[in-house]
Amino acid sequence: MKFFSFFLSSFTFITVTAQPGNMLNTDTTGNTLLWEITGNGLTAPSYLFGTFHLLCKEDIRFGNTLKQAITKSHEVYLELDLDDPATVFGALMLMNMKDGKKLKDLYTEEEYKRITAFFKDSLKTPIGMFQRMKPEFLMALIYPKLMPCSSAGSIEESIMQLAKDVNKDIKGLETMAFQASVFDSIPYEKQAAELLNTIDSLERLRAQFNLMLNAYKEQRLREIEKIMNDPEFGTVENQDILLDNRNKNWVLQLKNIMKKNPVFIAVGAGHLGGKNGLIALLRAEGYKVRGLENK
């Protein structure tokens, strides 16, 4: 799995002429992360939004269209129900590798010294604290080092606050146990190799990350797609595990969920596009999915 796996996506879009009535404005440029889902028997629109799990706090801003979409919805669905304390506690219990594996078992002596030095010098944290943790979870500790600010915030947390402000329930499409199992399906040795490669390539990754970050903030979908398809930074490897299979499972859930009530769905932007992305899969099920202005 590549370092940017949960933050990149290829996107598809169509232009739909808005019909008279209480409808939000259509985006005609393809540069949007907010989508309206209608048709196929739905009595009211649902909404799909692509997130970027951490941004500089000053960059987290939501326009009126997105706020209206949340207000119009009955519930807000995230990848996980982050409003449930059990999710957080479950994460702490499921981050460790199985079968007694330890981080130092996955590296040569020289490689482990490099890992240890990086955690000590750059993260100011002893690696011994994380001996049992799955290497991919350790990526989360490195991620803030790439950001062009010292104060990062969560888009999901901000969406949760918007939902609470208008008394909307928050739910999750997956459990923490399932997400942990996704990482267990990728060999720990492969995860360890990618963690080391990330540490060794940090400066190059920072430059690529800034390109991707700017593309996301400006909602330039074609550029996001280009980064997504870069073999070095994208999700080609393990894409079926990380994106495709999960997307298909979510659509099966959403077919029943949206039939009952309109919902606002906020998931990593990497899940939206491509032939197995949520937009294409929903359209294949007979829904109309149109981009909305998201200024």
The one-letter code for the residue type at 191 is Q
Least Cα distance to 117 among 22, 174, 199 occurs for 199
Could you give the CA distance from residue 150 to residue 135 in angstroms, rounded to a whole number? 24
- Residue 194's domain comprises 34-291
User: How confident is residue 49, by pLDDT bands cut at 50, 70 and 90?
Assistant: very high
Q: Would residue 134 count as lying in a domain?
A: yes
Report the candidate in 63, 62, 21, 61 with the shortest Cα–Cα distance to residue 38: 21
CA dist., res. 73 & res. 177, Å (int): 27
pLDDT at 18 over 50: no
- Does any domain span residue 17? no
- Domain assignment of residue 287, yes or no: yes
Residue 127 lies in a domain: yes
Beta bridge partners of 46: 37
Segment 260-288, tens digit of pLDDT: 999 999 998 888 888 888 999 999 999 99
The pLDDT of residue 30: 65
Nearest CA-CA partner of 93 in 49, 150, 134, 148: 134
pLDDT digits (tens, 9 = 90+) for 152-187: 888 999 999 999 999 999 999 998 888 888 888 889
Domain assignment of residue 8, yes or no: no
**Is residue 2 assigned to a domain?**
no
Please tell me the total count of domains within the chain: 1
The helix (H) or strand (E) run that includes residue 173 is strand 169-174
Q: Are 81 and 172 in contact (CB under 8 A)?
A: yes
Domain annotation covers residue 21: no
Given a contact cutoff of 8 angstroms between Cβ atoms, the answer to whether 154 and 54 are in contact is: yes
Q: What angle do CA 97, 99, 103 make, to 5 degrees?
A: 45
